[in-house]
Amino acid sequence: MLDPAMLGRGLGSEATQLVLEYAFTELGLHRVDLRVLAFNERAIACYTTCGFVIEGRERETALIDGRWHDDVMMSILDHEYHDRYS
């Protein structure tokens, strides 16, 4: 269950930054990408804060409760990560 008191505390950004650190420093990845439902504005803001860039939108890819929703594709590259966090 979602606890509204936990929102806005930066926990999502912190978790995302830890995953990116592992991906780029330990695994040596060149690129990390993701898909997020377009109506999830909090997640998109979190990912943007962490350095992800919006690459595009796929229209009506997810059927949820009888309604179609778009996906937003985002990514961050290794040099973008290192420029931001080094």
Active site residues: 47
HEC readout, 4-66: HHHCCCCHHHHHHHHHHHHHHHHCCCCEEEEEEECCCHHHHHHHHHCCCEEEEEEEEEEEECC
Closest listed residue to residue 71, CA positions, set 48, 49, 47, 39: 39
- Three-state SS for 3? coil
